Amino acid sequence: MNPNAAHMTSPAHASPARYPLAIIGAGALGLHFAARLAGAVPVAVVARDAERAAHLRAGVEVGGQPFRADAFAATRPPLADWLIVLVKAGDTAAAAAIAERMQPVGVLSLQNGLTGDLLRAHCRAALVDQGITTEGAYRERTAAGERVQPSGAGETLLPPGFEAVAEMLVRAGLRARVEPDIARARLAKLLVNVAINPLAAIHRVPNGALLEPPYRAALDELVREAWPVLRTEGLALDLDAALARVHAVAAATAANRASMLQDVLAGRRTEIDAITGALLRMAEAGGFEVPAHRAMHALVRRIEHAAFDSPEGRG
């Protein structure tokens, strides 16, 4: 199958009474996944409100091709067998409440940070867990409207029990597989996030720029500082492998605007507390000093403060 075929047409299926798959979250990554999946399986997109859903049904550009989503407002979500949650970490509890009404078999988070426990606490589906993805996408406003640009093919790892979701992703041309040791994989993803996301957001550069001076030294310092904390939690990488993993992701997503950078540029709240904050909590519990990460956390919070607490930010 042509991996870009799902971008070339609107969904080819009549809207079912119950979808085999739905995505909660209509940001850049949610729309990227939905557009790829739509050519292979009926997929619903749950947006924040009726206006956003109507906009997505009218059509947006994803990967250079028009995409008209089977989109629904969060107040009236459809029934679905499997759900992928791709909202910001701060919206996890709200997404769980939406998921409850959709009566799913399983709910899979592919969010940044460690959100699985929060999702499980608010959702009573039979199967609730968190996977990881290194797929990248960012959203732009153009004269013609909204455009979502994929920015580097990645891989999606799913917990055991989500074989059906993995099969749908593969059928859509995405790299996906079930990972038996998903807990360690989540720690490896957190390592990547705490190194790349805040640094890219503060300096307002794409991921690939972090591999070059003057940012490379700071990137490596963040990896070296986080590594012993995450090793204590079960990270299965030695320090050289940890550095290589972060470098490889930055290179593979060189053109990508990290999610935290996208939030900063758009004047939105970031996921700094779910990403760097998670590491800080681990470090405190384990007695580790992580001054570089504390500085990143403080700087991103300062950017948020300037955006939201200034007279301009208050609107």
pLDDT band at 210; cut points 50, 70, 90: very high
Positive or negative torsion for Cα 44, 60, 29, 315: negative
Q: Name the domain boundary from 150, 179, 208.
A: 179
Question: In CATH, what number is assigned to the domain containing residue 276?
Answer: 1.10.1040.10
pLDDT of 9 above 60: no
Q: What is the pLDDT of residue 130?
A: 96
Cα–Cα distances in angstroms (integers) from residue 128 to residues 89, 116, 117, 182, in the given order: 16, 7, 9, 13
Task: Assess whether 146 and 187 both reside in one domain.
Answer: no
Tell me the C-alpha distance between 274 and 262, whole Å.
16
Query: Of the segments 34-48, 118-132, 251-265, which one has the largest average pLDDT value?
Result: 34-48
pLDDT of 7 above 70: no
Q: Is the pTM of this model over 0.75?
A: yes
Tell me the C-alpha distance between 309 and 242, whole Å.
37
Angle of helix 291-309 versus helix 272-286 axis, rounded to 10: 150
Q: What is the pLDDT of residue 115?
A: 86
Q: What is the pLDDT of residue 14?
A: 61
Give me 205's structure tokens: 């550069």
Instruction: Establish whether 189 is a catalytic residue.
Output: yes
Cα–Cα distances in angstroms (integers) from residue 215 to residues 228, 292, 301, in the given order: 22, 13, 20
Q: Of these residues, 7, 32, 88, 189, which one is catalytic?
A: 189
Q: Which H or E run includes 286?
A: helix 272-286
Q: What is the amino acid identity at position 181?
A: D
Q: Say whether 212 sits in a helix, a strand or coil.
A: coil
- Higher pLDDT, residue 201 or 135: 201
Tell me the C-alpha distance between 210 and 249, whole Å.
11
pLDDT band at 141; cut points 50, 70, 90: confident
Give me 96's structure tokens: 């769980």
Q: Which domain holds residue 198?
A: 183-314
Question: In CATH, what number is assigned to the domain containing residue 65?
Answer: 3.40.50.720
Three-state helix/strand/coil letters over 131-155:
CEECCCEEEEEECCEEEEEECCCCC
- Count up the domains in the chain and report the number: 2
> In this predicted model, what pLDDT tens digit does every residue of 159-169 receive, in sequence order?
999 999 999 99
Give the mean pLDDT of 67-73. Answer: 97
Q: What is the pLDDT of residue 93?
A: 93
Which of 54-58, 253-257, 301-305, 311-315 bottoms out in mean pLDDT, i.e. has the lowest?
311-315
Task: Assess whether 165 and 211 both reside in one domain.
Answer: no
pLDDT band at 309; cut points 50, 70, 90: low
Q: What is the pLDDT of residue 182?
A: 96
Task: Assess whether 234 and 164 both reside in one domain.
Answer: no
Task: Assess whether 92 and 139 both reside in one domain.
Answer: yes
The average confidence (pLDDT) of the chain is: 91
